[in-house]
Amino acid sequence: MGLKATTVLFTLAASALPASAAGTLNLICAADVKWCELMETAFEKDHSDIAVNMVRMSSGEAYARVRAEARNPKTDLWWGGTGDPHLQAAEDKLTVEYKSPRLGDLQPWAQKQAEVSGFRTVGIYSGALGWGYNTDIFAKKGLAEPKCWKDLTADAYKGEIQVANPNSSGTAYNALATLVQIMGEEPAFAYLKALNANVTQYTKSGSAPVKAAARGETGLGIVFMHDAVAMTKEGFPIKTVAPCEGTGFEVGSMSIVKGAKNLENAKVFYDWALSPEVQSRAAEANSFQLPSNKTAAVPPEAPKLTEIKLIDYDFAKYGNSETRKALLERWDREIGAIAN
């Protein structure tokens, strides 16, 4: 066989093979920084031909970045963070439809997240809202354990509470939407005004309040319960509480950005991140959410959702652009304007 014929056959054979991904992936990670770093390192190890450019930011910031870049996207994929801003991005057509081959391997709540968004996002983990408090501080000051949302407005907790700002934090927006669903909008904002008297700081990051409690800078942080568990696991005197009235929960999500310059690499990461092997590694980064893949290992420390009084959180409504915008604007007027 001549050289020319051999070259032609090689070319035809090569074209029949699936194209291998290579190059870069520009990733926004909205989970805890340790988990973000683990995902970046693990992916580059498994896919050495793809270099990840990762930036870590909170969920609200991530949505704002994706929206700001809409005409000239610099981000390919947004991984992690609460589902509400992912759903808003989907509604705003800032993300693209993608049905992973692994979609059928996921928990029903993760598949529902995909369906509600028109398959522009997907659930990757879940966790319930609550708080963590520093038992040493509470014992020293003679404070009783707050078991319910209503307890947090008691005068005894003045200066002892931190919670994030719902404009930047998906955790705090989830808390805002949760209270509105439990109490009704008017009573919820009356509650938030009363709670504000006890809040010392509205942080940018959702997990920051319980980290401050762990360091002894505040008594209690309103957070997702798995973030409080992480502090306990690290040896801090933090006790986790699920509110007696009921509480909301998140479906942490993942979305591919519309106009992604590295679309195929984004799909490679997307499928990889839904695998049981990858999701089972979350505990290595002290992340104790419930994984979305049905066969992924669940960390024994993860709060058991079956033992928590969960509300029927309306993700479609509270992930809606108009609903979210209205609630945040009202929070700014009535809470942010008087915040300490």
User: Which is nearest to 206 in space by CA: 60, 63, 308, 40?
Assistant: 60
* Alpha-helical regions (H) of the chain: 3-16, 33-46, 59-68, 83-91, 108-116, 135-141, 170-183, 185-196, 208-214, 225-233, 263-273, 276-279, 315-318, 321-334
The whole-chain average pLDDT of the chain stands at 93
Instruction: Report the alpha-carbon angle 265-256-273, nearest 5.
Output: 65
User: Which is nearest to 217 in space by CA: 151, 162, 286?
Assistant: 162
Query: Mean per-residue pLDDT for 237-252?
Result: 97
Please state, in angstroms and rounded to a whole number, the distance separating the CA atoms of residues 49 and 228.
37
Ranking 21-35, 62-76, 137-151 by mean pLDDT, the lowest is 21-35
Cα 73 off chain centre by: 21
Among all chains, which residue has been given the structure tokens 């695998």?
A: 275
Query: Mean per-residue pLDDT for 16-33?
Result: 76
Instruction: Report the alpha-carbon angle 131-180-128, nearest 5.
Output: 35
pLDDT one-digit tens code per residue, 37-62? 999 999 999 999 999 999 999 999 99
pLDDT one-digit tens code per residue, 278-299? 999 999 999 999 999 999 999 9
Please state, in angstroms and rounded to a whole number, the distance separating the CA atoms of residues 80 and 82.
7
Residue 55, beta-bridge partner list: 28
- Tokens at 166, concatenated: 């719902």
What was the pLDDT predicted at 16? 35
pLDDT band at 9 (very low <50, low <70, confident <90, very high): very low
Residue 24, beta-bridge partner list: 51
The reply to whether 20-126+250-302 and 128-249+321-338 are identical in fold is yes
CB atoms within 10 A of CB 111: 17
Q: Which CATH architecture has domain 128-249+321-338?
A: 3-Layer(aba) Sandwich (3.40)
Among all chains, which residue has been given the structure tokens 């009202």?
A: 330
Q: What is the dihedral of CA 269, 274, 277, 279, to 10 degrees?
A: 100
- Tokens at 305, concatenated: 């959702």
CB atoms within 10 A of CB 191: 18
Of 3.40.190.10, 3.40.50.410, 1.10.645.10, 3.40.50.2300, the CATH number of 20-126+250-302 is: 3.40.190.10
DSSP 8-state assignment for residue 57: -
pTM of the entire predicted model: 0.87
Please state, in angstroms and rounded to a whole number, the distance separating the CA atoms of residues 331 and 129.
19
Amino acid occupying residue 210: V
Domain boundaries, the chain: 20-126+250-302, 128-249+321-338
pLDDT one-digit tens code per residue, 159-201? 999 999 999 999 999 999 999 999 999 999 999 999 999 999 9
Residue 283, beta-bridge partner list: none
